């Protein structure tokens, strides 16, 4: 793999993100969250920049990025739809909701629709367990997800 | 006089349309030229009534719910701003049986106040605990918490006062208070409700922990799945800083304490305290072996208190009302109150804070009202994805740390998830293994590999392939995971699996489909 520390389209912006947070105790996660917020994913080329600034090896940075479910190695769709697959939602039919959603969107979990509208992801608990099944579209939460609610969500992402 | 209308801002209320309701109410106020204001409060914790709209009247707060945006015009037409009757009227909020039966100590303000109003906070006894703590010595604070009998509400149930004493006695120029708000257990939302509904109580609890132990810096580690809680906590911290509650001199006492919010990144295992500390330090969230205890070598190797949200949020009332007041609630060695979260397939789901000691049957049948679908209750999972599935036969078990342990279960973070008779317990056991496989940090072999083998073995049982042999294998695997894993993820995954197998044997003996066709 080519190592290109600088010169990429992300590297310069990455550097300023890192330097704004370097003073924190344990700056890595705040930096990665900020990068994902900025770029939509964690580009390969920022890993050596982070490593260099935090005095870590590239392997260590890569290890952290890949440990956490949140951090992506490629951009998501315009929207991210998270459907809860945990027990409380299962008890209220979340598996059927998941199947219906796969059908409506024509994709499986961890996939993005061909038009780039939405990425479907599983999530294990949104803390909405007393109004299950639950979903989150970007930062918008939905409880007691039923057919009408799914139709609303699908219309929203297709807009 | 200005009318005050309350529309919750809690994520559960938002998930059920609270923002639309608030917008509709604002439009109606404008349209009718009324002298009224909307307060976005926390949730009272009655999910089946959300969005629960309240109006302050001379008789007290009147409740209406569940309100949809389309109901708003008719509410105004019925004169609900003066407490007028309407099909959705529930009467005085405090008289609603679900609330009236509770003992709200930790959640006293949740749903009552504007979460970001310090005036509200002070008006409802906020900061009293901190003010008293500032008049005490550090050992006196630790003693008060020890005497209260408060045990870690995250699940392990370790006495909070003893943990604090260990940190207080540990030498070190910099100590930390880390609040574990990585509430990943399905069926639990108490931490989220506190962070969204009464953030100052958590800040106050963390400051008191700092005074007791000599820690001057706090971190609140919460979940990226909780964007609303993160935002509310950040705003509350700013407000507290501006008011001199956080900062170089807490309430002018000369004691320093400040704190910040850190978001996790979707790893369930980071709810385990040593994983959490690694994550906070910016590493992979891998479990650390203990010893050394985090109390002695925690965040950045320094003495650190790691406490759950509910433990810390219970501290202010203990300091305010005294250890004896708190200790007088509860049973056996489980003292005080516990916010039980009733969730899943249940008619009246929500948060019910009460003294320890109710039976599981009372919680599910009487308070929860049975299933939402109206079918019989088949199983109840208590304590999240690592908690045991209890059948109806164990409904006489009292809600108490020791009583649950005696029945091979655990209270955990006090989440109760109800399943109706449609549940397939073999499928639930398989999911427990699958979840462990997805979330394992990979450090311990039994957890990392055992969970995947567990999924495969459950599949074989489902397919009728040598079921007896595979059930024995699954039990053996559980035994290895239980005793061979460093943390609760691998160590407790056997609870749901073994309880499902023990209490629901019929689900593990499906009709043999094929004679292993080879």
Across the interface, of A28, A130, A139, the residue whose CB is closest to B343 is A130
Q: Are residues A153 and A94 in the same domain?
A: yes
Contact A26 B227 (CB under 8 A): no
Looking at chain B from residue 329 to 388, which residues have their Cβ under 8 Å from any Cβ of chain A? 341-346, 349-351, 372, 381, 385
Q: Are residues A87 and A119 in the same domain?
A: yes
Please report residues of B whose CB lies closer than 8 A to that of A129: 186-189, 341, 343-344, 349, 415, 417
| pLDDT for A159 | 84
Chain B residue whose CA is closest to A122? B266
CB of B418 within 8 Å of any CB in chain A?
A: yes
Instruction: Decide: helix, strand or coil at residue B306.
Output: strand
Q: What tokens appear for B428 in the block?
A: 């639930």
Q: Are residues A104 and A52 in the same domain?
A: no
Q: Give Cα B44 distance to the centre of its chain.
A: 14
| pLDDT for A3 | 45
| pLDDT for B156 | 87
A72 in a structural domain: no
Examine the pLDDT at B513 and tell me if it is beyond 60.
no
Q: Domains of chain B (ranges plus CATH)?
A: 3-96 (3.40.30.10), 118-324 (3.40.50.11540), 330-420 (3.10.20.600), 425-508 (1.20.1440.230)
CA distance linking residue B49 with residue B302, whole number of Å: 46
∠ Cα B183 B189 B190 (to 5°): 95
Please report residues of B whose CB lies closer than 8 A to that of A125: 183-186, 188, 225
Q: Are residues A61 and A90 in the same domain?
A: no
| pLDDT for A9 | 87
| Closest by CA position to B66, among listed B77, B53, B56 | B53
CA distance linking residue B359 with residue B395, whole number of Å: 6
CA distance linking residue B337 with residue B106, whole number of Å: 8
Can you give the residue range of the structural domain that contains A138? Answer: 79-158
| pLDDT for B121 | 98
Q: What tokens appear for B238 in the block?
A: 């700013």
Looking at chain B from residue 12 to 31, which residues have their Cβ under 8 Å from any Cβ of chain A? 12, 14-16
List, for chain A, all residue ranges whose pLDDT scores fall below the cut of 70. 1-7
A50 in a structural domain: yes
Q: Are residues A58 and A85 in the same domain?
A: no
Angle between the N-to-C axes of helices B467-484 and B494-503, in degrees from 0 to 180, rounded to the nearest 10:
150
| pLDDT for B514 | 53
A4 in a structural domain: no
| pLDDT for B155 | 85
Torsion of the alpha carbons at B441, B444, B450 and B452, rounded to the nearest 10: 20
Q: Are residues A113 and A151 in the same domain?
A: yes
| Closest by CA position to A141, among listed A86, A77, A81, A96 | A81
Instruction: Decide: helix, strand or coil at residue B126.
Output: coil
Across the interface, of A70, A82, A132, the residue whose CB is closest to B265 is A70
Contact present, A97 and A83 (Cβ < 8 Å): yes
Across the interface, of B264, B300, B417, the residue whose CB is closest to A129 is B417
**Chain A: which residues have CB within 8 Å of chain B?**
25-30, 32-33, 54, 63-64, 67-71, 82, 84, 86-92, 123-132, 134, 136, 139, 141-144
CA distance linking residue B310 with residue B481, whole number of Å: 29
Contact A129 B281 (CB under 8 A): no
For B270-305, write each residue's pLDDT tens digit: 999 999 999 999 999 999 999 999 999 999 999 999
Examine the pLDDT at B517 and tell me if it is beyond 90.
no
Q: Are residues A83 and A154 in the same domain?
A: yes
DSSP string, B431-442: HHHHHHHHH--S
For B201-238, write each residue's pLDDT tens digit: 999 999 999 999 999 999 999 999 999 999 999 999 99
CB neighbours (10 Å) of residue B2?
8
CA distance linking residue B311 with residue B334, whole number of Å: 13
pLDDT band at B509 (very low <50, low <70, confident <90, very high): confident
Least confident of A7-11, B147-151, B327-331, B366-370: A7-11
Q: State chain B's mean pLDDT as an integer.
A: 96
A5 in a structural domain: no
**What average pLDDT does range B27-36 have in this prediction?**
97
What is the domain-level CATH number for residue A96? 3.40.30.10
Chain A residue whose CA is closest to B421? A91
Contact A86 B300 (CB under 8 A): no
Q: Are residues A126 and A61 in the same domain?
A: no
Give the whole-number percent of chain B exceeding pLDDT 90. Answer: 97
A73 in a structural domain: no
pLDDT band at B1 (very low <50, low <70, confident <90, very high): confident
Contact A130 B381 (CB under 8 A): no
Angle between the N-to-C axes of helices B199-213 and B227-242, in degrees from 0 to 180, rounded to the nearest 10:
60
For B52-83, write each residue's pLDDT tens digit: 999 999 999 999 999 999 999 999 999 999 99
Contact present, B9 and B17 (Cβ < 8 Å): no
| pLDDT for A5 | 45
Q: How many domains does chain A have?
A: 2
Nearest Cα of chain B lies from the Cα of A75 at a distance, in angstroms, of 16
Q: Are residues A60 and A105 in the same domain?
A: no
Nearest Cα of chain B lies from the Cα of A106 at a distance, in angstroms, of 24
Please report residues of A whose CB lies closer than 8 A to that of B419: 91
A149 in a structural domain: yes
For B68-123, write each residue's pLDDT tens digit: 999 999 999 999 999 999 999 999 999 999 999 999 999 999 999 999 999 999 99
Last residue in a domain, options A35, A67, A99: A67
A19 in a structural domain: yes
**What average pLDDT does range B311-340 have in this prediction?**
96
Examine the pLDDT at B512 and tell me if it is beyond 60.
no
Q: What is the enclosing helix (H) or strand (E) of B219?
A: strand B217-222
| pLDDT for B359 | 97
CA distance linking residue B493 with residue B48, whole number of Å: 30
Examine the pLDDT at B168 and tell me if it is beyond 90.
yes
Q: What is the enclosing helix (H) or strand (E) of B430?
A: helix B425-439
CA distance linking residue B37 with residue B41, whole number of Å: 12
- The b/e string for A19-55 (b: 16+ C-beta within 10 A; e otherwise) is eebeeebbbbbbbbbbbbeebebbbbbbbbbbbebbe
Last residue in a domain, options A28, A45, A67: A67
Contact A130 B189 (CB under 8 A): yes
Q: Are residues A109 and A48 in the same domain?
A: no
Q: Are residues A86 and A63 in the same domain?
A: no
Q: Give Cα B30 distance to the centre of its chain.
A: 38
A122 in a structural domain: yes
Q: Are residues A92 and A152 in the same domain?
A: yes
Across the interface, of B50, B217, B423, the residue whose CB is closest to A131 is B50
Contact B224 A82 (CB under 8 A): no
pTM of the model: 0.96
Residue listed under structure tokens 């679908």? B373
Instruction: Specify the DSSP class assigned to residue A107.
Output: -
Q: Are strands B217-222 and B176-181 parallel, antiparallel or unpaired?
A: parallel
Contact A68 B11 (CB under 8 A): no
Please report residues of B whose CB lies closer than 8 A to that of A41: none
């Amino acid at each position: 793999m080519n190592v290109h520390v600088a010169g990429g389209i992300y590297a310069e912006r990455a550097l300023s993100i890192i330097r704004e947070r370097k003073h924190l105790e344990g700056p890595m996660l705040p930096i990665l969250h900020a990068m994902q917020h900025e770029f939509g994913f964690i580009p390969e080329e920022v890993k050596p920049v982070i490593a260099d600034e935090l005095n870590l090896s590239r392997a260590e940075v890569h290890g952290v990025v890949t440990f956490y479910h949140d951090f992506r190695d490629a951009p998501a769709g315009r929207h991210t739809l998270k459907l809860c697959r945990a027990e409380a939602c299962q008890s209220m039919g979340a598996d059927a909701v998941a199947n219906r959603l796969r059908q409506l969107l024509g994709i499986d979990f961890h996939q993005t629709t061909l038009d780039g509208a939405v990425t479907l992801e599983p999530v294990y608990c949104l803390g909405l367990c007393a109004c299950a099944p639950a979903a989150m579209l970007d930062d918008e939460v939905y409880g007691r997800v039923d057919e009408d609610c799914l139709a609303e969500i699908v219309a929203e992402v297709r807009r | 006089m200005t009318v005050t209308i309350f529309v919750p801002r809690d994520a559960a209320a938002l998930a059920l349309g609270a923002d639309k309701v608030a917008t509709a109410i604002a439009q109606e106020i404008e349209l009718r030229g009324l002298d009224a204001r909307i307060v976005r409060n926390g949730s009272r914790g009655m999910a089946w009534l959300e969005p629960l709209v309240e109006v302050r009247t001379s008789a007290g707060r009147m409740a209406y719910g569940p309100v949809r945006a389309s109901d708003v015009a008719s509410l105004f037409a019925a004169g609900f701003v003066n407490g007028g009757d309407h099909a959705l009227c529930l009467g005085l909020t405090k008289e609603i049986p679900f609330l009236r039966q509770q003992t709200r100590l930790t959640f006293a303000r949740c749903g009552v106040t504007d979460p970001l109003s310090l005036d509200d906070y002070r008006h409802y006894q906020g900061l009293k605990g901190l003010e008293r703590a500032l008049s005490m010595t550090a050992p006196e604070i630790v003693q008060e918490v020890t005497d209260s009998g408060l045990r870690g509400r995250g699940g392990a149930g370790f006495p909070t006062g003893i943990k604090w004493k260990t940190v207080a006695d540990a030498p070190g120029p910099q100590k930390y208070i880390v609040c574990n708000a990585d509430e990943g257990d399905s069926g639990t939302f108490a931490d989220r409700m506190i962070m969204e509904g009464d953030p100052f109580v958590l800040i106050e609890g963390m400051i008191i922990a700092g005074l007791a132990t000599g820690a001057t810096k706090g971190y609140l580690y919460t979940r990226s799945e909780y964007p609303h809680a993160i935002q509310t906590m950040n705003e509350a911290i700013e407000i507290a800083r501006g008011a001199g509650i956080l900062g170089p001199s807490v309430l002018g006492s000369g004691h320093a304490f400040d704190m910040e919010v850190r978001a996790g990144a979707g790893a369930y295992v980071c709810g385990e305290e040593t994983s959490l500390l690694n994550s906070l330090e910016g590493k992979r969230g891998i479990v650390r072996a203990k010893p050394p205890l985090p109390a002695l070598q925690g965040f950045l190797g320094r003495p650190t208190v790691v406490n759950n949200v509910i433990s810390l949020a219970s501290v202010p009332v203990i300091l305010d009302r005294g250890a004896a007041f708190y200790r007088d609630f509860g049973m056996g060695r489980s003292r005080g109150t516990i916010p039980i979260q009733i969730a899943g397939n249940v008619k009246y789901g929500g948060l019910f804070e009460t003294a320890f000691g109710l039976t599981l049957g009372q919680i599910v049948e009487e308070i929860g009202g049975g299933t939402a679908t109206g079918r019989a209750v088949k199983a109840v999972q208590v304590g999240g994805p690592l908690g045991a599935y209890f059948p109806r036969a164990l409904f006489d078990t009292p809600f108490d740390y020791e009583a649950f342990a005696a029945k091979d279960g655990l209270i955990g973070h006090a989440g109760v998830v109800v399943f109706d008779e449609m549940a397939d317990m073999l499928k639930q056991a398989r999911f427990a293994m699958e979840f462990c496989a997805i979330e394992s940090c990979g450090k311990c072999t039994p957890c990392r590999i055992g969970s995947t083998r567990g999924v495969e073995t459950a599949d074989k049982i489902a397919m009728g392939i040598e079921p007896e042999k595979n059930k024995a294998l699954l039990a053996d695997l559980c035994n290895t995971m239980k005793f061979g894993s460093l943390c609760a993820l691998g160590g407790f995954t056997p609870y749901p699996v073994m309880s499902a197998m023990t209490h629901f044997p019929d689900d593990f003996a499906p009709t043999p489909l094929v004679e292993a066709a080879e």
